[in-house]
Amino acid sequence: MRSPWQHPARIVPFAFLALIAIGTALMMLPAARAEPGHAPFVTALFTAASAVCVAGMAVVDTPGYWSTFGHVLLTVLTQIGGFGIVALATLLSLIVSRRLGLRGRMLAQAESAGLTGGNTARVLIRVALVMLVAESILTVVLTLRFWLTYDYSFGRALWEAFFHAVQAFNNAGFALYSDSLVRFVTDPWICVTLALGVMAGSIGFPVLFELAREWRTTRSWSTHTFLTVTGSLLLTAVGFVVFLVFEWRNPGTLGPLNTAGKVLAAFTQDVMTRSGGFNSVDLGRLNSETIAVTNGLMFIGGGSASTAGGIKLTTFMLLGYVIWAEIRGEPDVVIRKRRIAEETQRQAVTVALMGVALVATGTVALDALTEDVPFDRALFEVTSAFATVGLSTGITSSLPPSAQVVLVVLMYVGRVGTIAVGTAIALNTRRRHYRYPEERPLVG
Amino acid sequence: MRSPWQHPARIVPFAFLALIAIGTALMMLPAARAEPGHAPFVTALFTAASAVCVAGMAVVDTPGYWSTFGHVLLTVLTQIGGFGIVALATLLSLIVSRRLGLRGRMLAQAESAGLTGGNTARVLIRVALVMLVAESILTVVLTLRFWLTYDYSFGRALWEAFFHAVQAFNNAGFALYSDSLVRFVTDPWICVTLALGVMAGSIGFPVLFELAREWRTTRSWSTHTFLTVTGSLLLTAVGFVVFLVFEWRNPGTLGPLNTAGKVLAAFTQDVMTRSGGFNSVDLGRLNSETIAVTNGLMFIGGGSASTAGGIKLTTFMLLGYVIWAEIRGEPDVVIRKRRIAEETQRQAVTVALMGVALVATGTVALDALTEDVPFDRALFEVTSAFATVGLSTGITSSLPPSAQVVLVVLMYVGRVGTIAVGTAIALNTRRRHYRYPEERPLVG
Ligand SMILES: [K+]
Ligand SMILES: [K+]
């Protein structure tokens, strides 16, 4: 038996567990709660895990249930969690960069996709600086809007702006309003600012760094950046059109808004769906066809090594190219005159299918643990938790504790677990030095 | 522009369309209907397509709506469709055996996986013989049971036995009883006989032929046969346990039965789910967790080159091995000391993901075309149509014609279209004689 502490990379998932444990203990302090008494264990666990995994999913009314101290805790846990996830990707890339295996190879690629030339400290400082600058810009814009238009006191405007700026850039999505952003549905200053913050956080640091260097010379972009940017544009466009068309007349969502309001609300909800987790329309009243598309967008998620969750844009885009090559009968998968390694294709398949298996298992578990939760709502909650989106049709708070624990496990596994398990196994890999004869079973 | 008639293989999908068209015209004859007047176009189209694609999905009450002539038509269309599907796989394997591309490669493998040494006619005769023998055995057992136990006249017993024998072995699933097999839920003679017929038809001819030769020497089995048999046993076991455990106390399904009855009903429903399409419990009253598992089983389906649908057992099993190899960091996917070709892995991925895309698109379309169909019921209908299972929670008949046409398209594409499109494209393939430099974008 080897100790899990033998290799530094193995500590990371335990560090996240420890962070969630500390967060749970802190959220159980009576000072964290608005009312007298302390929060129940599962409520505190769910909230802490949701913050650390930047899911932003809530089992209680965030503004009413937690005290200001509780809100400060949420901010700190979200910020540490979000930074930790990016730091994790970076550190692991340096530790296991030359080893093979699921995440080893993947993280080695993170480096070649943008994080070149830096040592650990330098990269972490750059990540921290980008976060600081982005959150500061968001805070300034939101503060001015809250202070000047909504007549908040300057102190309150600053605090609420900062809180939501951290939630937005880290793609968490806790809100200090019981209706999330529904009250701001027609306010472009609030909605567009937060949407841009979410987009910046969800594109991924390798891509951000590469875009900062060469955003004008699209031809020199790495395949990773090309896939992330085109995937993001494609899905944003699809989501926007779907929300606008399917919800145009829905009296519970876009129906009552004028045309400009419909466009703004569709854009905001579209951006928030692939990981942001805020909502400016009532998701419980979406049409079932919109819900279905929303599930797909949540499952795909954002960019690699970002604060977004899901199977990631590159995974989705790569699989599209794989299918396209296959039905055209091309021997190689080629993107912009670059051949995609067979190993990378297999990684993409593995990530996507493990995601499908997790969501399927979670949905069956949630259905089995509850009496009256319809299948579609269970699927939505589970997909949202797995992809750490945090959106809900409104059932999270009424789930029994056992079902809430299922969602906690999904958030952790969706965010930390796949990286951790993959790396741990990769570090143990035995190599084969011979190959067996090839066989081609019939498929399909 | 090349003509689609240039290559004989391209005729096949048109032949199936022609068969459906002829079937639709015949089902619209007043003589096919029990009541005066003729069936509406969409009803006739749906029923003919459902029979030809061996889906067995019904928009009307099969015994009450159609005349005996209509039932004979159903039998003929099912038999021609089922035989045609197997004949298609065999013929195409001979035509395109040395070409590359999605289905070209696949069908070449069908040959190596069991259909060796025969010319077209010999293989077709063997297939027809197996069908004839299997359906005869089923007919004899069912006739005796209907005649001796249920006091049918001998003529009626023989006709109903033959009708259901054809439906079972071809994995179609039309029934001459409005409740399908619910009235026989505790009759092992009826349920087990039909279940064995469905299993025999769904395992696939390459595997049947190989098992007939060497069923005792499991070590000499091809990888294809190994994956099909183990996959079938695995999924049958999982489905059986799920049905039994999740439905044990459900008053709408297994609840009222005694223990032996519960075991029989769970086994029957389990076997029917991966393509048979009969049901001996009311599917509209299944728990939502059972529905979720049922969706998964339907989607996977049966063996390749069989009368079953879905993405097929080998595809599912292969993907499992791919994931297992990936998380273990193995460079090759190895099954019983045979390395699986990279091309075969890519085919499996393509087949599975095209299935996911079809089901997702179909579900969104069905939801968009209806007002009050819940998402989970839409997903169930669409999965059942795509995988030509034919099970329903009972909403098919109340869908608007546009939504029924969506299901027709899914049945056709799920059954004939993927083979046809894949082959057609494969026959057009241009080869690349140079390779681009390799790149490894970040995934997950
Ligand atoms: K989130
Ligand atoms: K069927």
Chain B residues whose beta carbon lies within 8 Å of the beta carbon of residue A288: 367, 373-375, 378
Give chain A's mean pLDDT: 84
Cβ–Cβ gap A338/B289 under 8 Å: no
Rounded Cα–Cα distance for residues A384 and B170 (Å): 40
Residue A183 per-residue DSSP state? G
| The pLDDT of residue A8 | 59
Which residue type sits at B25? Answer: A
How far away is chain B from the Cα of A328, in angstroms, using its nearest Cα? 6
Residue B221: pLDDT band with limits 50, 70, 90: confident
Q: What are the counts of helices (DSSP H) followed by strands (DSSP E) for chain B?
A: 17, 3
Q: How confident is the model at residue B174 (pLDDT cuts 50, 70, 90)?
A: very high
Task: Name the nearest CA neighbour of A160 among A137, A184, A172, A177.
Answer: A177
Arithmetic mean of pLDDT, B60-74:
94
B415 alpha carbon, closest ligand: 2
Q: Could you tell me the strand order of the sheet in which A438-439 lies?
A: A438-439, B338-340, B334-335
Q: Is the pLDDT of residue B6 over 60?
A: no
Distance A19 CA to ligand 1 centre (A): 18
* In a domain? residue B399: yes
Ligand with minimal distance to B274 CA: 2
- For chain B, how many structural domains are there in total? 1
User: Is residue A360 classed exposed, middle or buried when 0-12, 13-18 and 19+ CB atoms within 10 A define those classes?
Assistant: middle
Instruction: Give A137→chain B minimum CA distance, Å.
Output: 29
The pLDDT of residue B84 = 87
Is B225 part of a structural domain of the chain? yes
Structure confidence at residue B441 (pLDDT): 62
CB-CB under 8 Å, A363 with B292: yes
**pLDDT of amino acid A2:** 43
Q: What is the mean pLDDT of residues B265-280?
A: 90
Is the Cβ pair A347, B443 closer than 8 Å? Answer: yes
Q: How confident is the model at residue B393 (pLDDT cuts 50, 70, 90)?
A: confident
B381 domain residue, yes or no: yes
Mutate to test the interface with A, among B393, B421, B427, B442 (most CBs of A within 10 A): B442
Judge whether residue B231 has pLDDT over 60. Answer: yes
Instruction: Using the predicted structure, report yes or no on whether residue B104 has a pLDDT greater than 90.
Output: no
Measure in Å the smallest separation between the Cα of B190 and chain A Cα atoms.
31
Confidence of residue B82 (pLDDT cuts 50, 70, 90): very high
Contact assignment for A442 to B304 by CB distance below 8 Å = yes
Helix%, strand%, coil% for chain B, nearest 5: 70, 0, 30
**How many residues are there in chain A?**
444
d(CA A85, CA A306): 8
pLDDT tier, B9 (very low <50, low <70, confident <90, very high otherwise): low
Closest Cα of chain B to A324: distance in Å? Answer: 9
Q: Name the token pair of B403.
A: 């939504």
Least confident of A50-59, B41-50, B204-213: B204-213
Q: Which residues of A touch B296 (CB under 8 A)?
A: 360
Q: What is the pLDDT along chain A (444 residues), one digit of tens a residue?
A: 344 445 556 677 888 899 999 999 999 999 999 999 999 999 999 999 999 999 999 999 999 999 999 999 999 999 999 998 877 765 665 554 333 333 444 444 544 444 444 567 777 888 899 999 999 999 999 999 999 998 899 999 999 999 999 999 999 989 999 888 888 988 999 999 999 999 999 988 878 888 888 778 888 888 888 999 999 999 999 999 999 999 999 999 998 999 999 999 999 999 999 888 898 898 888 988 899 899 999 999 998 878 888 998 989 999 999 988 887 778 888 888 888 888 788 888 888 998 999 999 999 999 889 988 888 889 999 999 999 999 988 888 889 999 999 999 999 999 886 666 555 555 555 455 666 776 666 665
Q: Which chain B residues are within 8 Å of A311, Cβ to Cβ? A: 444
How far apart CA A4 and CA A13 sit, in angstroms, is 11
**Residues B323-350, mean pLDDT to the nearest whole number:** 84
Answer whether B158's CB lies under 8 Å from B75's CB: no
Whether residue B416 contacts residue B360, with contact meaning beta carbons closer than 8 Å, is answered with no
Contact residues for A52 (Cβ-Cβ < 8 A; gap 6+)? A16, A19, A20, A23, A77, A78, A80, A81, A84
What is the reported pLDDT for A113?
Answer: 43
Q: Cβ contact (<8 Å) for A289 and B368?
A: yes
What residue numbers bound the domain in which A133 lies?
8-426
* E-only strand ranges, A71-129: none
Q: What is the pLDDT of residue B115?
A: 42
Q: Which chain B residues contact residue A415 at CB under 8 A?
A: none
Residue A4: partners with Cβ closer than 8 Å, 6 or more residues away:
A10, A11, A14, A424
Least trusted range by pLDDT, from A128-137, B133-142, B175-184: B175-184
In a domain? residue B265? yes
Q: What does the pLDDT read at residue A212? A: 84
pLDDT at B2: 43
pLDDT of residue B92: 64
Is there a contact between B246 and A335 if contact means CB atoms under 8 Å apart?
no
Residue A75 located in a structural domain: yes
CB contact under 8 A, A329 and B429: yes
Contact between A201 and A173 (Cβ < 8 Å): no
Cα(A389) to centroid(ligand 1), Å = 4
A102-112 and A342-369 are packed helices; what angle lies between their axes, rounded to 10 degrees? 120
What confidence tens digit (pLDDT) does each residue in A268-301 have?
A: 999 999 888 898 898 888 988 899 899 999 999 9
Q: Which ligand sits nearest to residue B168's alpha carbon?
A: 2
B436 domain residue, yes or no: no
Residue A127 lies in a domain: yes
Give pLDDT, residue B348. 86
**What was the pLDDT predicted at B121?**
77
Residue in B with minimal Cα distance to A434? B332
Q: Which residue has the higher pLDDT, A89 or B291?
A: B291
Tokens read off for B123: 């293989």
Instruction: Give chain B positions within 8 Å (CB) of A110.
Output: 442
Q: Quote the CA–CA distance of A118 and A134 in Å, as a whole number.
A: 21
Pick from B299, B367, B366, B294: nearest CA to A363: B294
Cα–Cα dist B153/B146, whole Å: 8
The whole-angstrom separation of Cα B106 and Cα A442 is: 6
Nearest to B363 among A105, A292, A322 (CB): A292
The answer to whether residue A1 is domain-embedded is: no
How many Å lie between the centroid of ligand 1 and the Cα of residue A390? Answer: 5
Which chain B residue is nearest to residue A324, measuring alpha carbons? Answer: B350
Q: ipTM of the assembly? A: 0.83
User: Does the distance separating the beta carbons of A367 and B289 come in below 8 Å?
Assistant: yes
